[in-house]
Amino acid sequence: MIYTVTFNPAIDYVVAMDDFRLGATNRASREEYYFGGKGINVSIILKHLGIESVALGFVSGFTGQALENGLKAEGLETDFIKLDNGFTRINVKVKGEQETEINGQGPDISKEAVDELFAKLDNLTSDDMLIVSGSVPSSMDEDIYEKILKRMDERGVTVTVDATGKLLMNVLKYHPFLIKPNDQELADMLGKPMETTEDIIRGAEDLRNMGGRNVLISRGAKGACLVTEDGQNLTIDAIPGKAVNTVGAGDSMVAGFIAGYMKTGDYSYALKLGNAAGAATACSPGLATGEEIERKMDI
């Protein structure tokens, strides 16, 4: 089974306005909401591609209940830890001539709640995969990724990590199956510019030599690069289309890659499906459907 972890999930409230005026009463021309968080996004795309998973994480209050109910209505299996304080955050995204975002803080996560998460993770075996992604809330220990990766390494669990900076660099010693920084994040981590495809490949090889088994680098309009544990250096062009939403595109790429690899065991196909899933979400108002991803595969 695949398990995803989202430390700080959210309900994204998207409001479109033809003429947003600061300090005045504004009326929306369109409004939508999405249940989000990086791990949750991965679980949703996996579901759309026919792969089951269990979404783990922390929820609280009436918004947490709404998020959990919404995900279950979409057919997702969840096993969230319910916190006694606060409420699951709401992120407001105002779309006008310019896009403005207000991200909520979310509830504090106690040591007891983290221990409860560890207890759930300790039930995983070498037959399972864990996908850990996203930032760490201020109420949690900064080394939470390392603690999780160490426990999973001891149990032989296959782990995918979608994080950046020290969060990622500090867990490479545990040899995660897949890591997916973008090109700018790769440059920041290695402290040198990544201007060409050759630069990206060399940078990805550096991360693989540090411990990442497979290193997938998303490059936006320039496509993606993949360095694999069996010595392949693969590149793929971006799929044409009008981008309307970049939120969740990277998570969709991770989910598509994992789904493709699980179905075929072929890294080239996994890269192609990951690229299609990322592009499909970028061209959709929310996370892409399975049909939208399949159409991108045919381009």
Rounded to whole angstroms, how far apart are CA atoms 190 and 204? 10
Rounded to whole angstroms, how far apart are CA atoms 152 and 129? 9
Which residue carries 């830890």 as its tokens?
A: 81
Kindly list the distances between the CA atom of residue 72 and the CA atoms of 34, 80, 299, in Å, as whole numbers in the listed order: 13, 12, 32
Rounded to whole angstroms, how far apart are CA atoms 254 and 4? 12
Q: Give me the long-range contacts of 138-146 (CB less than 8 A, separation at least 24).
A: 139/107, 139/108, 139/109, 139/110, 140/7, 140/109, 140/114, 141/114, 142/166, 143/170, 144/7, 144/114, 145/170, 145/171, 146/170, 146/171, 146/174
* More confident: 212 or 286: 212
Is 251 among the catalytic positions? yes
Rounded to whole angstroms, how far apart are CA atoms 105 and 118? 23
Out of 115, 237, 251, 298, the active site residue is 251
pTM of the model: 0.94
pLDDT in tens, 252-295: 999 999 999 999 999 999 999 999 999 999 999 889 999 999 99
pLDDT band at residue 8 using 50, 70 and 90 as cut-offs: very high
Residue range 168-190: average pLDDT? 95
pLDDT in tens, 94-134: 988 888 889 999 999 999 999 999 999 999 999 999 999 98
pLDDT in tens, 133-151: 988 998 999 999 999 999 9
Q: Is it the case that residue 243 has pLDDT exceeding 90?
A: no
Q: Is it the case that residue 239 has pLDDT exceeding 90?
A: yes
The per-residue pLDDT for 68 is: 97
The per-residue pLDDT for 244 is: 82
